[in-house]
Amino acid sequence: MKIVVFITQTQDTEARIKVGSSGDSIDAEGMKWIMNPYDEFAVEEAIRTKEAYGGEVVLITAGPQRASQALLQGLAMGADSAVHISDEALGETVDSLVISKLVASELGNVEGVDLIFTGMKIIDEESVQVGIQIAEELGIAHLALVSKVIDVKPDEKKLVCQKEIDGGSVSVEVSLPALITCPDAMNEPRYASVPNIMKAKRKPMKTVSLDDVDFGSLGISRDAVGKSGAKIKTVSLEVPEVQRKLRIIKGSDETTVKGDEIAESARELVKLLRDDAKVI
Amino acid sequence: MSSEIWVVADIKADGQIRKVTFEVLSEARRKLGGSVCAVLLGSGVSDRASELAGYGAEKIYVVDNPNLRDFNPDGYVKALCELIKKHSPAVVLSGNTAFAEDYIPRVASGVGSGLAMDCVDIGMTDDGRLRIKRYSHSSRAISTQEFNGDGSAMIATVRPNSFKEEGSAGAGQVVNEDAGITDADIRIKVLEMKTKESDRPELTEAERVVSGGRGLASEENFNHIYDLADLLGAAAGATRAAVDAGYCPYDMQVGQTGKAVSPVLYVAVAISGSVQHFSGMGSSKVIVSINKDPEAPIFAKSDYGICGDLFQVLPPLTEELKKALSE
Ligand SMILES: Cc1cc2nc3c(=O)[nH]c(=O)nc-3n(C[C@H](O)[C@H](O)[C@H](O)COP(=O)(O)OP(=O)(O)OC[C@H]3O[C@@H](n4cnc5c(N)ncnc54)[C@H](O)[C@@H]3O)c2cc1C
Ligand SMILES: Cc1cc2nc3c(=O)[nH]c(=O)nc-3n(C[C@H](O)[C@H](O)[C@H](O)COP(=O)(O)OP(=O)(O)OC[C@H]3O[C@@H](n4cnc5c(N)ncnc54)[C@H](O)[C@@H]3O)c2cc1C
């Protein structure tokens, strides 16, 4: 089977973040970049599928030079080769539509591809769209929010998955090739060990420049890559301080409430909710 | 481009229109100007059109087709793309539901539009471009974004509970559309659908939410969460750690992967307060937490809290709440 995973590098949202001087983005100074966590689940699922059915796993990303680190991590996890569409302009906000066209074009046509995995969203921009937009560009079926791949039938070119929907779940069947977007909890991603990262450096990684992209055939202009050509622009961005009342009732020793303090704390909390917050 | 503002109705498994649809219709009327219209897609949904007129829809575009069933995105992508291409609305809005996440992005690709997901505010610039606010960076940042006004439909989904619903009679002219959906458009075959009926409100719509974390320690103990939720008329939620441990079903998960909720009251029981969980409930109006660890990060993000063991605190708290609610 030929399995493709679209991955991206993202800002570590657990790290400290502050607004940059331009006022419309997060300060890149000292920023920590990681493989998008949901893409780790996607890579893991791809490798497991390869281990079960044979074949190869190809990673594709569009991003600035630093994004090659994410590819290296994926290769160290067990992917076979990688393609990096590289340009510094891809480090700015780029429309999801443009990203999906760019990365889909790298596959050319889907002939020969069986399965495609993407993350459900990236944790910094959280646009929640590139994955299934790639499916639209390629003209294939997509399955979003797949919690479990139930059965892959390479010979019949069919796939059965369980997918979460509002208020329940469905099991669905599609013909291959198909694209799956991965939430967390689908699997436990393996760790990219240091020796494996060393070995990964010898795996094939192809770099594609934007100069090599035939924008005419994608129906977009090259100017569409980058802030000025974006259909949606961020005009301002804030990282609000948490503004909460912080009335935390603790025990007399500054830890948990004990003994009589317990019933007293319950009375106090209810009073606060009624008279102060006015929510009951 | 016409000046029409479209609101696509979100339908539940039981065929009812979701509250968020009425919220978005109301806010569109208040904030966006233009002619506010609704789009009703589904199978056997035609007779719901009048409800949309009750929230000010001037026109209601209806596609009623058996291929629009089982929350199968394929038919919906085709239907909405065809309608947008035919009528060129200025703006297309929908609630941000799991189903919307499953098909709206494909529609944006199909018609070459920009798309902003999960917006918490909508408005218009003086020159008629949609301006929205949305969270990013695991909901730690909030940005104001504007469409560039290139003439393509401006598409956005809106977080439930962001706006007040307000009835207002609209002309409600029904426009039946065919959209040319055929069996061949349906790539996904639904083998089985499992939906649960619950008497509790839905998480994303609820005014109050009670959630439990890993500290509940068992499926049985989750009854404490359900009991408290029922007492408050609240929806029941959970963290990923609780879902992973099998204490409760996946569709209760609140957070970056799970549902984003913005109730008036959020009660977090035995939840540490990870960035990923906070991402889904940080916009709640009042946050209350119960945790036995005085250092738990959730406390720094709460309005009120008790540092105590849930098993000791919940019984007297339930009694006090009962008293307060019956007064
Ligand atoms: C200061 C700054 C720096 C940025 N740097 C980068 C960067 O280095 N790399 C980057 O990709 N984006 C970067 N972005 C984000 C970029 O602007 C787009 O928002 C982003 O690539 C599109 O992702 P999304 O939020 O729409 O993804 P979503 O729709 O949330 O992503 C869903 C899935 O689509 C796939 N996917 C998304 N983007 C790509 C991609 N570029 N290549 C391959 N697969 C993808 C992944 O599988 C992902 O899990 C940056 C943004 C800012 C503000
Ligand atoms: C990509 C990604 C996506 C994620 N998405 C989500 C998401 O959507 N939603 C989500 O919730 N998480 C998500 N997570 C997981 C998240 O990082 C945390 O692991 C999770 O939220 C922790 O859940 P918890 O607070 O229940 O558990 P813990 O962190 O283990 O906290 C349990 C808390 O219970 C307290 N406690 C224990 N016993 C008692 C008692 N008897 N009485 C009172 N207090 C008690 C403890 O003091 C502790 O604070 C995601 C992680 C990743 C990497």
Instruction: Give the Å distances, CA to CA, from B230 to A256, A274, A277, B238.
Output: 26, 18, 20, 15
Q: Which amino acid is at A234?
A: T
Query: Per the domain annotation, does B194 fall within a domain?
Result: no
**Do B252 and B167 belong to one domain?**
no
Supply the pLDDT for residue B79.
Answer: 97
**Do B94 and B165 belong to one domain?**
yes
Confidence label for B189 from pLDDT (cuts 50, 70 and 90): very high
**B148–A230 C-beta distance less than 8 A:** yes
Residue ranges of domains in chain A, CATH in brackets: 2-224 (3.40.50.620), 244-280 (no CATH)
Query: Per the domain annotation, does B270 fall within a domain?
Result: yes
**Do B294 and B262 belong to one domain?**
yes
Residue B130 maps to which CATH number? 3.40.50.620
Query: Per the domain annotation, does B169 fall within a domain?
Result: yes
DSSP state of A262: H
Supply the pLDDT for residue A166.
Answer: 77
Whole-angstrom Cα distance, residue A249 to residue A257?
8
For B313, the domain range is 208-326
Residue B8, pLDDT > 80, answer yes
pLDDT lower than 70: segments of chain A: none
Query: Per the domain annotation, does B86 fall within a domain?
Result: yes
**A174–B105 C-beta distance less than 8 A:** no
Q: How many CB atoms lie within 10 A of CB B294?
A: 16
**Do B140 and B245 belong to one domain?**
no
**Do B178 and B219 belong to one domain?**
no
Residue B237 maps to which CATH number? 3.40.50.1220
Supply the pLDDT for residue A111.
Answer: 80
Provide, as residue numbers in chain A, all residues whose Cβ is less than 8 Å from the Cβ of B190: 170-172
Supply the pLDDT for residue B13.
Answer: 84
- Six-digit token string for B74: 């394929």
Residues at CB less than 6 angstroms from ligand 1: A 6-9, 25, 28, 36, 38-39, 42, 60-64, 67, 90-94, 96, 99, 103, 118-119, 121-122, 125-131
Least confident of A107-116, B63-72, B88-97: A107-116
**Do B220 and B172 belong to one domain?**
no
Each residue's pLDDT tens digit, B190-245: 999 988 878 899 999 999 999 999 999 999 999 999 999 999 999 999 999 999 99
**Do B91 and B174 belong to one domain?**
yes
Which residue in chain B is spatially nearest to A174 when comparing CA positions?
Answer: B188
Each residue's pLDDT tens digit, B254-263: 999 999 999 9
- Six-digit token string for A201: 């450096």
**Do B16 and B112 belong to one domain?**
yes
Provide, as residue numbers in chain B, all residues whose Cβ is less than 8 Å from the Cβ of A279: 208, 264-265, 285-286
Q: Which of A26, A27, A122 to mutate to test the pocket of ligand 1 (most atoms within 8 A of CB)?
A: A122
Among B185, B219, B247, give the residue marking a domain's end.
Answer: B185
DSSP state of B174: E
**Number of domains, chain B:** 2
Among B153, B185, B217, give the residue marking a domain's end.
Answer: B185
Supply the pLDDT for residue A243.
Answer: 86
Query: Per the domain annotation, does B17 fall within a domain?
Result: yes
Supply the pLDDT for residue A29.
Answer: 85
Which residue in chain A is spatially nearest to B244 when comparing CA positions?
Answer: A185
Compute the nearest-CA separation of B175 from chain A (Å): 28
**B238 CA closest ligand 2 atom index:** 11
Q: Which residue is listed with tokens 């959906």?
A: B181
Query: Per the domain annotation, does B197 fall within a domain?
Result: no
Q: Which amino acid is at B303?
A: D
Which residue in chain B is spatially nearest to A11 when comparing CA positions?
Answer: B137
Supply the pLDDT for residue B148.
Answer: 95
**Do B173 and B243 belong to one domain?**
no
Supply the pLDDT for residue A28.
Answer: 84
Whole-angstrom Cα distance, residue B154 to residue B35?
15
**Do B95 and B140 belong to one domain?**
yes
Query: Per the domain annotation, does B132 fall within a domain?
Result: yes
Instruction: Give the Å distances, CA to CA, from B323 to B157, B185, B269.
Output: 40, 57, 21
Segment B296-301 mean pLDDT: 96
Cβ-based burial of A223 (10 A; exposed 0-12, middle 13-18, buried ≥19): exposed
ipTM of the complex: 0.94
Supply the pLDDT for residue B295.
Answer: 97
Query: Per the domain annotation, does B76 fall within a domain?
Result: yes
Supply the pLDDT for residue A63.
Answer: 96
- Six-digit token string for A186: 């689908």
Question: Shortest CB distance from A277 goes to which of B148, B196, B286?
Answer: B286
Whole-angstrom Cα distance, residue A215 to residue A217?
5
**Do B112 and B17 belong to one domain?**
yes
Cβ-based burial of A195 (10 A; exposed 0-12, middle 13-18, buried ≥19): exposed
Q: Which residue is listed with tokens 């619950």?
A: B198
Residue ID of nearest Cα to ligand 2 atom 38: B215
**Do B13 and B160 belong to one domain?**
yes
Compute the nearest-CA separation of A181 from chain B (Å): 10
Task: Decide the pairing of beta strands A33-35 and A9-11.
Answer: antiparallel
Provide, as residue numbers in chain A, all residues whose Cβ is less than 8 Å from the Cβ of B321: 270, 280
Supply the pLDDT for residue B14.
Answer: 86
